[in-house]
Amino acid sequence: MIRKSLVVSGMCVLLCLASIATVAQTIPNWQPNTAYAVGALVMFNNVEYKCIQAHTSQVGWEPPNVPALWQPVSGTPSPSPSPSPSPSPSPSPSPSPSPSPSPSGTCAPAWSSTLAYCNTATTTCNGGSMASKNGLNFTAQFWNMNQDPTVAGHAGPAGSGDPWFTGVACTGGTPSPSPSPSPSPSPSPSPSPSPSPSPSPSPSPSPAPAGFIYAAYKDVTINADFNTGLQRSAVTGTIQPVTTAMPNKTLVWAFATGTCDAESWAGISPAMEATNVQAFVNAGKNYILSTGGAAGTFDCSSGQGLINFINRYKSANLVGVDFDIEGGQSQQVIDNLINATIAAQKTFPNLQFSFTIPSLGSQSANPITGGGIGTLVVQEIKRLGLSGNYVINLMTFDYGSTNVNNCVVVNNLCDMGQSAIAAAQALHSQAGIPFNHIGLTQDIGQADTQDEVTSLHDIDTISAFVKSNGLATSRFWSFDRDTPTGNGGLSTMNGNGAPALAYNHEFMNSLGVP
């Protein structure tokens, strides 16, 4: 009896191991430089992980190292098969025949990863509001691009936050040929690779528009060497020159305050700050000079004064000048900056001059700060006739209370990706500013307003919109916040646990820029 039971037990163990191995073979191994959607499953060191935040993987972001992105799946075999009933929403297509009459039973044009889809009642896009795939019609809830409606987490009921509404069965139309080829060439291999390659190449191949600048803001005082003025950062855990720490090409130096004839960099003298020019040139990095900010103001009463200011920091690597206007400046100060810019453009036609203003993430009556200083800046830019290489750069965060007049609300929270898009669309359609003169700046991770969290997935959504509409710049606040840990509060941590430089890499990958 003992011998027989041992034999039977051994056979059971072998069968269990074989079944586990079979399951593991169906789940791909984790790979770097791969786009993962929420809910994606991977294997790493014989452990199954589930993606909990959409991102493009990097070397060093192995699932055990980044709990903010991956969650281990329970190892007990019994719960693991139970998900298989959950995909069995294949029964749910059986109820879906009943909605099928509503779309007249005809399939919409086939979904394409290169088209933008949206609610055409409130937004414009080149793909329209509806697409079909696998015999289902999908209607866009929000503006989206490269969000396959058949992927888990991409389609759901109203209020779910998914980019698509739940699919409704359809027949005929352009999609029906597309499903038929996929089963014919060896059903299992052909469908299985097609979902995963389609997301992964799309973030990097399509580049941003010509003349586009991607940059991160850097508070020049954080970790600065106050003896020399050298800009430094501890974003990776070790204090080092910022030119060594930054993977991206361009940094925005923030902030110079005072006047263009006598500026100060928060206690660092102009001569000391200017020592960074050669450091950036030597490292092959570009930089933008930013003035003003939330805690200061900057004025320049003449074009020559602005030219002198620029000359103090000039090199071939200087690519822009930024006026961050949120300190309650008077109309006279705003007009001074615009007129000085018009004069300086004649000397520096290749520099990008940006006016950074607060905004609301909504297409309601007056989206640009509800009639505040942002509205005044836009009005004066139009009245004074600023043209050339200028940008109105919207700060798409800190909307205040969560309501539909301030942002796009999903599940009682501001959807930071869709709100940024709504702000740009409102500035374009209501103020008549062309998209190629609009920029967007995000506050990565947790913003000052507690229910505003910009995720890596939001960055992908915003970047797709930026590229497809030809916006002029995309930025984030701030370089030193791009880390999960820090001892200086939210100025040196992202507040949501994403790994060091995760946001910087996500911007670079999704925009296709260095």
Taking only the tens place, the pLDDT of each residue in 78-104 is 333 333 333 333 333 333 333 333 344
Q: What percent of the chain has pLDDT over 70?
A: 77
- Mean pLDDT of the chain, nearest integer: 82
Do 293 and 437 sit in the same domain of this protein? yes
| One domain for residues 156 and 265 | no
Per residue in 330-345, pLDDT (tens digit) is 999 999 999 999 999 9
pLDDT for 371: 59
Could you write out the DSSP letters of every residue in 43-102?
EETTEEEEESS-EE--TT--GGG-TTTEEEPP--TTTTTTTTTTTTTTTTTTTTTTTTTT
Residues 371 and 462 in one domain: yes
Same domain, 145 and 237: no
Reduce the secondary structure of 288-330 to three states and give it as a string: EEEEEECCCCEECCCHHHHHHHHHCCCCCCEEEEEEEECCCCC
pLDDT of residue 118: 81
Q: What confidence tier does 123 reach under pLDDT thresholds 50, 70, 90?
A: low
Tell me the mean pLDDT in the region 118-136: 81
What pLDDT is recorded for position 487? 52
- Domain count of the chain? 3
Nearest to 494 by CA among 73, 204, 66: 66
d(CA 288, CA 267): 19
What are the tens digits of pLDDT across the range 417-443? Answer: 999 999 999 999 889 999 999 999 999
| 140 and 39 inside one domain | no
Check whether 325 has a pLDDT greater than 60: yes
User: What's the mean pLDDT in 107-132?
Assistant: 83
Q: Which of 109-123, 175-189, 277-291 has the lowest mean pLDDT?
A: 175-189
73-77, 134-138, 189-193: which range is least confident on average? 189-193
Dihedral, CA of residue 352, residue 353, residue 358 and residue 361, to nearest 10: -40
The first and second tokens of residue 406, run together, are: 């301030």
**Residues 61 and 138 occupy one common structural domain:** no
The CA-based dihedral angle spanning residues 231, 232, 235, 236, taken in that order and rounded to the nearest 10 degrees: 140
Evaluate whether residue 194 is within a structural domain. no
Looking at the domain assignment, is residue 175 inside a domain? Answer: no
Its domain, for residue 42, covers: 34-72
Note the pLDDT of residue 12. Answer: 46
| pLDDT at residue 455 greater than cutoff 60 | yes
More confident residue, 34 or 300: 300
Q: Model-level pTM?
A: 0.70
The pLDDT value given to residue 298: 98
* Structural domain includes residue 301: yes
pLDDT of residue 3: 38
Of the residues 137, 152, 169, which one is the last residue of a structural domain?
A: 169
For residues 152 and 288, state if they share a domain. Answer: no
Does the pLDDT at position 121 exceed 70? no
| pLDDT classification of 368: cutoffs 50, 70, 90 | low
Query: Across residues 15-24, what is the average pLDDT?
Result: 48
Structure tokens of 501?
């430089």
Q: For 142-156, 195-209, 307-321, 478-492, which range has the lowest pLDDT when averaged over its residues?
A: 195-209
For position 277, what pLDDT does the model report? 99
In a domain, 204, yes or no: no
The closest of 363, 361, 359, 286 to 326, measured between CA atoms, is 359
- Token couple for 194: 């097609």
According to the per-residue pLDDT averaged within each range, which of 3-12, 150-159, 351-360 is highest? 351-360
Name the residue with higher pLDDT: 390 or 105: 390
Lowest-confidence pick of 370-374, 481-485, 494-498: 370-374
Mean pLDDT of 448-463: 89
Listed residues 169, 201, 232: the one ending a domain: 169
Residue 288, pLDDT score: 99
Average pLDDT over residues 220-224: 97
203 within domain boundaries = no
| 407 and 305 inside one domain | yes
> What is d(CA 481, CA 195) in angstroms, rounded to the nearest whole number?
33
Residue 174 lies in a domain: no
Q: What does the pLDDT look like over 26-63, one tens digit per residue?
A: 899 998 878 888 889 999 998 999 987 777 776 667 88
Structure confidence by residue, pLDDT tens digits, 159-200: 566 778 899 999 875 543 333 343 444 444 444 444 444 444
CATH number assigned to the domain comprising residue 45: 2.10.10.20
**Residue 159 and residue 48 in one domain:** no
- The rounded distance, in Å, linking the Cα atoms of 233 and 251 is 12
156 & 279 share domain: no
Tell me the pLDDT tens digit for each residue of 399-414.
888 888 888 888 899 9
- For residue 322, list its beta bridge partners: 290, 354
Token couple for 192: 């299985």
Q: Is residue 11 part of a domain?
A: no
What gap in Å lies between CA 231 and CA 275, rounded to an integer? 9
Kindly report the CATH number assigned to the domain that includes residue 233: 3.20.20.80
Kindly state the average pLDDT of the residues 345-373.
82
Residue 76 has pLDDT above 50, yes or no: no
Does 91 reside within a domain? Answer: no
Looking at the structure, tell me whether residues 140 and 246 fall in a common domain: no
**164 and 228 share one domain:** no
